[in-house]
Chains A and B, each alone.
Chain A
Amino acid sequence: MDHTYQYSWIIPFVPLPVPMLIGVGLLLFPTATKNLRRMWAFPSILLLSIVMIFSVYLSIQQINETSIYQSVWSWTINNDFSFEFGYFIDPLTSIMLILITTVGILVLVYSDNYMSHDQGYLRFFAYMSFFNTSMLGLVTSSNFIQIYIFWELVGMCSYLLIGFWFTRPLAASACQKAFVTNRVGDFGLLLGILGLYWITGSFEFRDLFEIFNILIYNNAVNFFFVTLCAFLLFAGAVAKSAQFPLHVWLPDAMEGPTPISALIHAATMVAAGIFLVARLLPLFIVIPYIMNLISLIGIITVFLGATLALAQKDIKRGLAYSTMSQLGYMMLALGMGSYRAALFHLITHAYSKALLFLGSGSIIHSMEAIVGYSPDKSQNMVLMGGLRKHVPITKTAFLLGTLSLCGIPPLACFWSKDEILNDSWLYSPIFAIIAFITAGLTAFYMFRIYLLTFEGHLNLCFQNYSGKKRNYFYSLSLWGKEEPKSIKKDLCLVTLLTMNNNEKTSFFLKKTHRIASNITNTPFITIFPFGATKTFVYPHESDNTMLFVMLVLVLFPLFVGAIGIPFNQEGIDLDILSKLLTPSINLLHQNSNHFFDWYEVLKNATLSVSITYFGLFIAYFLYKPFYSSLQNLNILNLFAKRGPKRIFWDKMINFLYDWSYNRAYIDAFYTRYLTEGIRALAELIYLFDRRVIDGITNGVGITNFFVGEGLKYLGGSRISFYLLLYLISVLVLLISCFFFFNFFSF
């Protein structure tokens, strides 16, 4: 089967022609290329499908034979240094390959529809295909230099795609923030690579691990230096995977189009950090400090991400913080040494989160038609609500994704998260407790997003009287500090008027709901229906392509958990994932006798699932639209009656929402101290440059000028003056000579 492996170097290069052709076409023949725009989606999807088939084949090979294949050829030939290019196929690579290609294809198909009316359709596909190329290159690379190259390329694609809608100032600053933050990580990665090169003299993973282990075993290296290098390498992963100190770019990255949030900022690129740590685990595992650090960073991120996700207004930002939190789980698992659990969660989370993001994209697409194209409005959950009736298919998909991410048993994320939670008990009880609490929080915020978006009634219609309500649940807890901005009233009317002009006849035939019929039956508010002409438009379900993609993606959270569930067949307790990962796990000298006990699973699962349900119910109580049932009202009153307790409770909630709304004050801190600091430094250095260094030059010039002028003034071209000067100088000379000799004679 070496044939298959021999040709696998081609994997990253398969999708490459598309961006090259589009790029050249757009630069040289813009009109012709733009006329063919929809045609370009086809080759990019086709080429990625080829890669997918190839990688599925590869991983079947891997399951059957569990071999690691590496091939290398040289890139630069020099006496002193040689860079090599190679590819490295092992189970980790094949898992990542399948993940990238499947999500990639679905997202490409999805974005064909999502972006179809965008001017930058071609640009989008070029970037996406280039991203696929570099991501595939990243996971197949066999040495550090190659990893670094693709690592940066992936970052660049992310930069370009975040800044895709470059006319938005927010997107412009978001993409710069993402790149610079990632560069901080790359800084660490590069230094770590160089340090390891200095220690071992090699860039190749396998040689490097071998030499490194021997060196550690013989105690031949400075332990502090090794730890530093490993830490720097880890810094690269921290930035890419949005772990705690460098996570600030991920929520801002949601300024990009939603398909790329699904592909890059949820499923693949942010998983690259996890991939890197997993790849380098043989190296990290011999340094216990680093392993502790990894799990510490992981648990901080888990908790921080979850708390930050609690009160986001923007649907995509909420999901982004949730991604961050879930990535923290993976990091935690890696830090605990449970390689398998981390990868399992990586896979399940990627599919679930991709589904959620595609669902939110579909919602945004529907909302955009009503509220306009500003992300402040179309992604704002304040304005959503009650979409269940209008976008039922999206709702189903989104609900499945939510449940999966919360960890509700039959769905994918349950299995993987449960495994991580189990392992965390063995590692450290404190970490385990935090992880369990976060599982509850996850359920809470995910369900909050779901309820706000789909349950109740379309909030956009209530904008007129939201200010009148004095209910603290609504005005305070839901959106944190900021009151919801009142939408321009004529917004609906404008849409309405245009519609009325054109299709007044068909308007009512389309079963479009009228606002009056829905709202008059709410308990609190009686709504006076507008005039007969003042009908309201409701969001529509997205196009079939998008729905199809979502439905396909629904299958993954349903069934992907199966690869990690052991099936008892013929007495062998091996699931697919374990079988695939056996060599790697053995490589890590882990307790590979991962024996699986259904009773144990049940015991642990009960706890985690009950916490999850608890979170879910709290979310349900808090965010169940209050006007929809009378029963809810009683609960509200119940809460309201507790006088003194309520103040404390209010304060708690206030604090929590402030914390979450201000992004834990970390962004403000960075802006205040780092950005302003660099700006001040730049000003200072420029001032120094101009005043001191340039000042000296100019000073010399001006002095020369004055000296020249002075001389000109002195030498007035009169002989007598020259004679006088001459005589004076001779006199001075003589006198000084006289004193000089006198001085010596004594």
Chain B
Amino acid sequence: MVQVYLVFTTNNFPWLTIIVVFPIAAGSLIFFLPHRGNKVIRGYTIYICVLELLLTTYAFCYHFRLDDPLIQLAEGYKWINFFDFDWRLGIDGLSVGPILLTGFITTLATLAARPVTRNSRLFHFLMLAMYSGQIGSFSSRDLLLFFIMWELELIPVYLLLCMWGGKKRLYSATKFILYTAGGSVFLLIGVLGIGLYGSNEPTLNLETLANQSYPVALEIIFYIGFLIAFAVKSPIIPFHTWLPDTHGEAHYSTCMLLAGILLKMGAYGLVRINMELLPHAHSIFSPWFMIVGTMQIIYAASASPGQRNLKKRIAYSSISHMGFIIIGIGSITDTGLNGAILQIISHGFISAALFFLAGTSYDRIRLAYLDEMGGLAIPIPKIFTLFSILSMSSLALPGMSGFIAELIVFLGIITSQKFLLMTKILITFVMAIGMILTPIYSLSMLRQMFYGYKLLNVPNSDFFDSGPRELFVLISILLPVIGIGIYPDFVLSLAVDKVEAIISNFFL
């Protein structure tokens, strides 16, 4: 007994392996559950999700120290001896936030997916498989493993999209898989290139790779390879067109995962690989990041009011908000990178909640286009309230997390020493124009949906306001949004030391 206890408390216990493998392993048991309707499957999945979240939280609470910028909870097992490929996991301050976000959002998305009844066995298995894939890619310390995990979560998304999507789901799913698989090719090229460079043996360990230096031209080539892969995922313009289509068609629980976590994997990859491994190339590319990020904010924010489809409008808004992350990454300052990480977390919450709201209101009125809606505030006041609050947080109202993140990114540009004053002024100015455009589309979305008075010719016009389940999902997303907005150190403290370590590479 004592030994068992010791195993649990010492560092040797493979926490991360369990955390990564548990959902998919437990998920594959779904197929062996007795045929007793969807209720069992749903309950089982939610149970697994919550258990996983608790497990993650426990492990991070007791075995992770925030003040240490090094890799913790590290574990490595030889997998393929032939080319030094290890099952190597480990987390640091950078990945704690996204992993916890993954656990949180996936649990809520599973809860949100309760209305799904068609083929729910497969659906829930795919959700759990995505859970594993996402946590795996956030916590892998081996390049090839990162790539494998990266690919692992593509398949569930593809299936979720092409089986439970809307009318044009096949087109969207194909587009999605082609885009991301196309990006993955470049990722693979980059991974192999970095791994095979230099020494006789392939090195895929991120720690060793972080200290390696390359000739500038080669570094730039690697950088571009990774950049394309992550740019598709983030998305960065002009690789963004899969996103509105995918979000427009996917079921809203899939949308929550896509917008909440998958997009963040691109940003995470940019920080983790492009910034950490290839600092010289990153400092060459950073002005382009700033320019592209600024353009993206304006471009997507002005494309958004032209959308008739509610979900597409939210999708464009999330492209626009990803621009802040790109700018934060491009600014190469402590402040900017902190802001980008905060924005990763904050946007994860906000966009997931917005997609959930869009989905639930779609469930009720069965109308996808904004100009057909109107006057919904009377039949569904609670959804109206929460939609208003979350739109406000999406347009960076102070007191909510979005504002802090954007403000810190702004400060990051202002304090950046790399750029000239004039460029900084210009970029800040143009970014701030995005601040004017954001309320235009999000408030007009609110106005078109809820304000006014209109008799809808809906088949079931006596629909209900949101029930306890939906309210629970929304409030549990709203609480962290407000919490971070009031006390941002919750999230900032996770990654501060790691960010400092990364940035110090640039000023050697």
Which residues on A are within 8 Å of B, measured CB to CB?
26-28, 75-81, 145, 148-150, 152-153, 156, 159-160, 163, 166-169, 171-173, 175-176, 179-180, 183-184, 186-187, 190-191, 194-195, 197-198, 225, 678-679, 681-683, 685-687, 689, 693-694, 697, 701
Offer 18 A-B interface pairs, CB within 8 angstroms, sorted by A. A27-B386, A75-B487, A78-B338, A78-B496, A80-B333, A145-B407, A148-B398, A149-B399, A153-B398, A156-B392, A167-B377, A168-B452, A169-B451, A169-B452, A172-B447, A176-B439, A693-B237, A701-B174
Residue-by-residue, is B372-385 near A (CB-CB < 8 Å gives 1, otherwise 0)?
A: 00010110001001
List B233-276 residues whose CB lies under 8 Å from chain A: 237-238, 240-242
| Inter-chain contact A163/B451, CB cutoff 8 Å | yes
Chain A residues in 8 Å Cβ range of B302:
678, 681-682, 685
Max chain A C-beta neighbours (<10 A), residue from B174, B303, B382, B489:
B303
B189 in contact (CB, < 8 A): no
Min Cβ gap A376→B in Å is: 15
Q: Is B471 interfacial (CB 8 A cutoff)?
A: yes
Question: Considering the chains assembled together, what is the distance between the CA atoms of A186 and B242 in angstroms?
Answer: 33
Interface of A is mostly: helix
Residues of A contacting B338 with CB < 8 Å?
78, 80
Apart from A184-B436, A697-B242: 15 A-B pairs, beta carbons within 8 A: A78-B338, A80-B338, A152-B403, A166-B377, A166-B450, A167-B451, A168-B452, A171-B451, A180-B443, A190-B435, A194-B414, A678-B437, A679-B305, A686-B307, A689-B241
Chain B residues whose C-beta falls within 8 Å of the C-beta of A166 in the assembled complex: 377, 450-452
Give the chain A neighbours of B425 by CB distance below 8 A.
Answer: 195
Contact in complex: A186, B407 (CB < 8 Å): no
List of B residues within 8 angstroms of A683 by Cβ: 306
Q: Is the CB of B303 within 8 A of A689?
A: yes
User: Across the interface, do B439 and A167 meet the contact criterion of CB distance under 8 Å?
Assistant: no
Query: Is B433 a contact partner of A194 (Cβ separation < 8 A)?
Result: no
Q: Are A176 and B447 in contact (CB under 8 A)?
A: yes
B398 touches A167 (CB 8 A): no
How far is B430's CA from A191's CA once the two chains are assembled, in angstroms? 10
Task: Decide yes or no: A149 and B453 within 8 Å by CB, A167-B378, A179-B439, A187-B436 being known contacts.
Answer: no
Interface-centre pick from B240, B436, B444, B496 (highest chain A CB count, 10 A): B436
Distance (Å) between the CB of A235 and the closest chain B CB?
Answer: 11
A-B CB proximity, top 5 nearest: A172-B451, A686-B306, A149-B398, A682-B306, A682-B305
How distant is B288 from chain A, measured CB to nearest CB, in Å?
18
CB contacts between A and B, total, < 8 Å: 137
Given the interface pairs A149-B399, A153-B398, the reply to whether A173 lies near B433 with Cβ below 8 Å is no
B238 / chain A contacts, CB cutoff of 8 Å: 693
Q: How far is the CB of B437 from chain A (nearest CB, A)?
A: 8
Find out whether the CB atom of B415 lies under 8 angstroms from the CB atom of A81. Answer: yes
- Report the bound CA distance from A159 to B389 in whole Å: 12
Identify A81's interface contact among B179, B242, B403, B411, CB under 8 A: B411
Which residue on A lies nearest to B245, using beta carbons?
A: A694
By a CB distance below 8 angstroms, the chain B residues around A697 are 175, 179, 241-242
- Interface residues in B426-484 by Cβ distance below 8 A to A read 428-429, 432-433, 435-437, 439-440, 443-444, 447, 450-453, 471, 475
Indicate if B166 sits at the interface (CB-CB under 8 A): no
Instruction: Output the least CB separation between A369 and chain B (Å).
Output: 22
A159 to B442, CA, bound (A): 13
B335 at the interface (CB under 8 A from A): yes
For B407, B421, B488, the residue with the greatest tally of chain A CB atoms inside 10 Å of its CB is B407
Chain A residues within an 8 Å CB radius of B450: 166
Q: Which of B452, B475, B496 contacts A172 (CB 8 A)?
A: B452
Cross-interface CB contact of B453 among A26, A167, A190, cutoff 8 Å: A167
For residue B304, which residue of chain A has the nearest CB?
A682
Residue of A nearest to B382 (CB): A27
Pick from A160, A679, A694: contact of B241, CB below 8 A: A694
Partner pick for A27 among B174, B385, B398, B435, CB 8 A cutoff:
B385
**Are B306 and A198 closer than 8 Å at their CB atoms?**
no
Q: Which residues of B sit under 8 angstroms from A169, Cβ to Cβ?
A: 451-453
B375 touches A167 (CB 8 A): yes
The chain A residue sitting closest to B451, CB to CB, is: A172
Residue among A163, A168, A683 with most chain B CB within 10 A? A163
Among A169, A689, A694, the most chain B Cβ lie within 10 Å of the Cβ of A689
Say how far A132's CB is from chain B's closest CB, in angstroms: 16
Q: A681 to chain B: which residues have CB within 8 Å?
A: 302
- Chain A residues closer than 8 Å to B378, beta-carbon distance: 167
Q: Is B410 an interface residue (CB 8 A)?
A: yes
User: Looking at the complex, which one of B303, B334, B399, B421 makes contact with A686 (CB distance below 8 Å)?
Assistant: B303
Distance (whole angstroms) from the CB of B442 to the closest CB of chain A: 10
- With A80-B333, A172-B452, A685-B303 as known contacts, state yes or no: A678 contacts B440, CB within 8 Å: yes
A-facing residues in B294-343 (Cβ within 8 Å) = 299, 302-307, 333-335, 338
Nearest CB to that of A185 among chain B residues? B436
CB of A81, distance to nearest CB on chain B (Å) = 5
Residues of A within 8 A of B432 (CB): 187, 190-191
Closest residue of B by beta carbon distance from A26: B385
Residue of B nearest to A228 (CB): B425
Residues B435 and A183 in contact, CB atoms below 8 Å apart: yes
**Complex-state Cα separation, A10 to B496, whole angstroms:** 31
Question: In the complex, are the beta carbons of A685 and B306 less than 8 A apart?
Answer: yes
Separation in Å of the B69 CB from the closest CB of chain A? Answer: 13
Cβ contacts under 8 Å, A149 to chain B: 398-399, 403
Q: Which residues of B contact A171 (CB under 8 A)?
A: 451
Nearest Cβ in chain B — how far from A178, in angstroms? 10
A173 contact from B175, B411, B447, Cβ within 8 A: B447
Shortest beta-carbon distance, B452 to chain A, in Å?
Answer: 5
| Interfacial chain A residues near B240, Cβ < 8 Å | 693
From A159, A168, A195, A685, B299 is in contact (CB under 8 Å) with A685
At the interface, yes or no: B209 with Cβ under 8 Å from chain A?
Answer: no
Checking A159, A172, A180, A194 against B411 with a beta-carbon cut-off of 8 angstroms, the contacting residue is A194
Give CA–CA (A681, B299) in the complex, Å: 10
Q: In the complex, which residues 341-384 of chain B have their Cβ closer than 8 Å to any Cβ of chain A?
A: 375, 377-378, 382
